[in-house]
Amino acid sequence: MKKFTPAAAIGQTLRVTKAHAIRLKNKTIKKAEPARNFLYDVADFILFTSRATREIFSRDFEFTEFFNQCSKMGSRTLPLISVTGIIIGLVLTIQSRPVLVSFGSVSLLPAMVSISLIREMGPVITALICAGKIASGIGAELGSMKVTEQIDAMEVSSTNPVKFLVATTIMIPLLVLYADALGIFGSWIGANIKGSVTFNLFVAQAFAHIGFIDFMPALIKSFFFGAVIGLVGCYKGYTAGRGTESVGIAANSAVVISSLLVIIVDLVAVQITDML
């Protein structure tokens, strides 16, 4: 039987204290791990964005692949945006008409709907649809290329896929203009459900109160919406893991993060526009 001494007691206490300190350190590391991973992701995304920007303005830009990607993006989202644009204009008109009737201001209905569509509803809803359709497609496509090591092979051969994948974001402002036009057409349909107005008169009333200041901020922020959607989709697919499950994770996270960033960019754009 071991003899109990003060030295043995001190040693035992030190061992217990050291083990407790190690457990506390591990718990602290586990708690700090999400924040550390978030900061790593932010830093990697900034580096990825700077790299993609340099590649876009390089001399050997792949214009053929750029137009090919633009065509794919338009064909993927055009039917959904067409239906959504008409429904948005229709719903806004049906919901707003009773209120304007009570104030005797039905003639302001075309202008109100068109301003709402052009300034806010058209760009944001179109960007969110594209975030769900395009960002997931880019993330899944690049993620599958990452799993099958196609991206590694392209980098070894000095072919960078970033320069023609990120450039497809130029299509978002065009899709926004298309959605705005269909939204005004849907509003005209809604105005004729309980009334009668010609299309030419409706369009004249709609654009009577719209100026240059209404189009430019919406068009500029639509470009940033497209840049965010394309960059997030490319980044998530480009940094996907090696397993097959990582493809679904990349596509899902691309949709969630790009949708969130679209809302944040819209908030910042509204504040800047209000100050100007």
Within a domain: 258: yes
Within a domain: 191: yes
157's tokens: 């051969």
Q: How confident is the model at residue 182 (pLDDT cuts 50, 70, 90)?
A: very high
Rg for the chain (alpha carbons), in Å? 27
- Judged against a pLDDT cut of 70, whether residue 115 lies above it is answered with yes
- Judged against a pLDDT cut of 60, whether residue 37 lies above it is answered with yes
What is the residue range of 130's domain? 58-275
pLDDT of residue 249: 82
Within a domain: 37: no
- Judged against a pLDDT cut of 80, whether residue 45 lies above it is answered with no
pLDDT of residue 136: 84
Within a domain: 22: no
pLDDT of residue 185: 92
Task: Report the run of H or E that residue 130 belongs to, with start and end.
Answer: helix 122-130
Within a domain: 50: no
Within a domain: 15: no
pLDDT of residue 72: 80
- For the chain, how many helices (H) and strands (E)? 11, 0
- Judged against a pLDDT cut of 60, whether residue 4 lies above it is answered with no
User: Which residue has 């201001």 as its token pair?
Assistant: 105
Within a domain: 90: yes
DSSP class of residue 159?
-
Distances (CA, A) of 102 to 92, 96, 97, 192: 16, 10, 9, 18
Q: How far apart are CA 231 and CA 257, in angstroms?
A: 11
What's the number of domains the chain is made of? Answer: 1
Q: How far apart are CA 202 and CA 187, in angstroms?
A: 9
| Predicted confidence (pLDDT) per residue in 145-181, tens digit | 777 776 666 655 445 556 556 666 788 888 999 999 9
Within a domain: 28: no
- Judged against a pLDDT cut of 70, whether residue 20 lies above it is answered with no
Q: How confident is the model at residue 33 (pLDDT cuts 50, 70, 90)?
A: low
